[in-house]
Amino acid sequence: MSQQQFEVTVGLEVHVQLSTESKVFSRAQSRISHESSVAEEKANVNTTPVCAGHPGTLPVLNKKAVEYAIKAGLATHCRINKKSVFSRKHYFYPDLPKGYQISQYDEPLCEEGFLMIHPKGLESKKIRIQRIHMEEDAGKNIHMSGFSLVNLNRAGVPLIEVVSHPDMSRPEEASAYLKALYAVVTYLDICDGNLQEGNFRCDVNVSVRPKGQTKLGTRAEVKNVNSFRFVEKAIEYEAARQIEVIQSGGEVIQETRLFDSAKGVTISMRSKEEAHDYRYFPEPDLLPLIVTENTIEGIRSKLPELPEAKRQRYIKDYQLSEYDAGVLTATRELAFFFEETLELMGSEKKGDPKTYKQVSNYLTGEVSRLMNEAQKEINQSRLQPQHLADLIRLVLDAEISSTNAKVVIAEAWESGKSVDQIVKSKGLKQVSDTASLEPIVDAVISKHPDQVAQYQGGKTKLLGFFVGQCMKASKGQGNPQLFQEMIKKRLG
Ligand code: MN
């Protein structure tokens, strides 16, 4: 069978770290501080006897963490179960001092939701969410040469685990789902969203089967992938590997694998446990979690506008393309920037579709390019909505060329200087009076007699050449529209 005769099935389990002040079952601080990174933190400073699993200690559930988990459930259209139960999931590992993780098993907090995804160039698709349960994170082992260290700062940090149905069949769908979920939890402000520090990480279940076969193939689970790009790479590699195993007469085994991002390959880690290996049983130290209708509705009433709704509204109200609306609403910061810029455009331009288009174009174009280049979010730069509003006003009034507009954005991104300051100090204002442009047109025409002859002989395509020469001679400051008219008139 060739590769085309197989289909790939992908399901994701995403661990989202909730940004509560304290841990999920103890009063230990959950986060070091918003400024310092995990790498800079001191080991074992945020621990209590509960985190360290001392005998006789008792867990107490963090109300804020429950509220955050319900928010996530409502925002992904899940049913919120009025009663859910915490269970012990047993396994032995040095970073898990109790010998079990408190999680939820057969009675999770949220069930049966979905997220819409809009992968670029593919059909939009509804990805069903099987469940969202609450659990605690484990600590961290640090392996040195010859010995290992254990840091329990992360032990007991609240997590939700969002489990999708195996509804995805392409790498791009998986990354689109991951981005959609990331947007939801960051819009809700329940997760810091720092991918490098593992605030948002996913396990990828991949299986392949011959097309037409109803039974799913044996799956392998790729652990802890923490980037949108890596999830695609891991699926591509894993699907190809499994197809090769089957094609060469072998059998895919159920196992847990690791993704090596440097080499772009997955490596076998251990054979995958079945649920019964964990010896789940209800946590006797915690009562079942009961939430009332009132609590749920109270939380629902305070939900912000979510990315999918915002995206729809941008398409409808601002006549943006599906793609542009998707880019602008991908993060809360970018959407806020877009809306704030429009707000600052002044009453006359604010309601004009041309304005929407310009603001959108600059944000999805030049600004996104700068963000990628610097590997920064928009709020980590010095660029402010006021810059973009001032600049687009100049563009719309033809007082600056689009080339020079890019220069202004790059400068504002770096220095934060006002548009007015930048335009003045760099002399970027567009010259739109014929009298000052006339000598430039004269010079260009007399410098290129051959092209003039060709143009007058019918090769009118050369108009662009003349305008280009004039722009160059005016150091980008001449109004290209005006140059075009003047040349036409002179040579016509
Ligand atoms: Mn988990």
Long-range contacts, 136-144 (Cβ 8 Å, 24+): 136/23, 136/24, 136/25, 136/101, 136/102, 136/103, 137/15, 137/17, 138/93, 138/95, 138/96, 138/101, 139/51, 139/95, 139/96, 139/97, 140/95, 141/93, 141/94, 141/95
Residue matched to tokens 């409808």: 316
Task: Evaluate whether 256 touches 271 at the Cβ level (below 8 Å).
Answer: yes
Task: Evaluate whether 164 touches 177 at the Cβ level (below 8 Å).
Answer: yes
The per-residue pLDDT string of the chain (492 residues; one tens digit each, 9 = 90 and over) reads: 677 899 999 999 999 999 999 999 999 999 765 556 666 678 999 999 999 999 999 999 999 999 999 999 999 999 999 999 999 999 999 999 999 999 999 999 999 999 999 998 899 999 999 999 999 999 999 999 999 999 999 999 999 999 999 999 999 999 999 999 999 999 999 999 988 888 999 999 999 999 999 999 999 999 989 899 999 999 999 999 999 999 999 999 999 999 998 999 999 988 777 777 899 999 999 999 999 999 999 999 999 999 999 999 999 999 999 999 999 999 999 999 999 999 998 877 777 888 999 999 999 999 999 999 998 889 899 999 999 999 999 988 888 888 889 999 999 999 999 999 999 888 888 788 888 889 999 999 999 999 999 999 999 899 999 999 998 888 878 888 889 999 999 887
Sign of CA dihedral 211, 216, 222, 223: positive
pLDDT score at 139: 94
Residue 161 alpha carbon to ligand 1 centre in Å: 6
492: which residues sit within 8 A by CB, 6+ positions away?
A: none
Residue 12 alpha carbon to ligand 1 centre in Å: 12
Residue 249 alpha carbon to ligand 1 centre in Å: 34
Q: Which residues surround ligand 1, an ion (CB under 5 A)?
A: 161
Residue 180 alpha carbon to ligand 1 centre in Å: 20
Half-sphere exposure of 6 (CA within 13 A, CB side): 21
Residue 297 alpha carbon to ligand 1 centre in Å: 27
- 99: region left, alpha or beta (phi > 0 left; psi from -120 to 50 alpha): left
Residue 160 alpha carbon to ligand 1 centre in Å: 8
pLDDT score at 257: 94
265 pairs with which residues across the strands?
A: 260
The C-alpha atoms of residue 24 and residue 47 are separated, in whole angstroms, by 12
Total Cβ atoms within 10 A of residue 371: 20
pLDDT score at 250: 93
Task: Evaluate whether 192 touches 157 at the Cβ level (below 8 Å).
Answer: no
Residue 135 alpha carbon to ligand 1 centre in Å: 7
Residue 15 alpha carbon to ligand 1 centre in Å: 6
Residue 365 alpha carbon to ligand 1 centre in Å: 38
DSSP letter for each residue of 291-325:
--HHHHHHHHHTPPPPHHHHHHHHHHHH---HHHH
Residue 38 alpha carbon to ligand 1 centre in Å: 21
134 pairs with which residues across the strands?
A: 160
The C-alpha atoms of residue 360 and residue 342 are separated, in whole angstroms, by 10
The C-alpha atoms of residue 265 and residue 77 are separated, in whole angstroms, by 35
Task: Evaluate whether 379 touches 418 at the Cβ level (below 8 Å).
Answer: no
What is the reported pTM?
Answer: 0.87
Residue 286 alpha carbon to ligand 1 centre in Å: 19
Residue 475 alpha carbon to ligand 1 centre in Å: 59
Q: Strand 83-84 relative to strand 289-290: parallel, antiparallel, unpaired?
A: antiparallel
pLDDT score at 196: 87
Residue 102 alpha carbon to ligand 1 centre in Å: 10
The C-alpha atoms of residue 300 and residue 113 are separated, in whole angstroms, by 15
Distance (Å) of CA 343 to CA 106, 310, 357, 386: 48, 16, 14, 10
pLDDT score at 476: 78
Residue 198 alpha carbon to ligand 1 centre in Å: 13
In Å, how far from its chain's centre is CA 184? 10
The C-alpha atoms of residue 4 and residue 7 are separated, in whole angstroms, by 8
Residue 137 alpha carbon to ligand 1 centre in Å: 8
Residue 31 alpha carbon to ligand 1 centre in Å: 20
491: which residues sit within 8 A by CB, 6+ positions away?
A: 445, 452, 455, 456, 466
pLDDT score at 36: 60
253: which residues sit within 8 A by CB, 6+ positions away?
A: 218, 220, 271
Task: Evaluate whether 51 touches 191 at the Cβ level (below 8 Å).
Answer: no
The C-alpha atoms of residue 377 and residue 381 are separated, in whole angstroms, by 7
The C-alpha atoms of residue 167 and residue 63 are separated, in whole angstroms, by 33
Residue 257 alpha carbon to ligand 1 centre in Å: 16
Residue 252 alpha carbon to ligand 1 centre in Å: 24
Task: Evaluate whether 436 touches 475 at the Cβ level (below 8 Å).
Answer: no
Residue 152 alpha carbon to ligand 1 centre in Å: 17
In Å, how far from its chain's centre is CA 166? 21
Residue 224 alpha carbon to ligand 1 centre in Å: 11
210 pairs with which residues across the strands?
A: 6
Report residue 114 as tokens.
């979905």
DSSP letter for each residue of 324-383:
HHHHHTSSHHHHHHHHHHHHTT-HHHHT-HHHHHHHHHHIIIIIHHHHHHHT--GGGSS-
- 267: region left, alpha or beta (phi > 0 left; psi from -120 to 50 alpha): beta
Residue 303 alpha carbon to ligand 1 centre in Å: 25
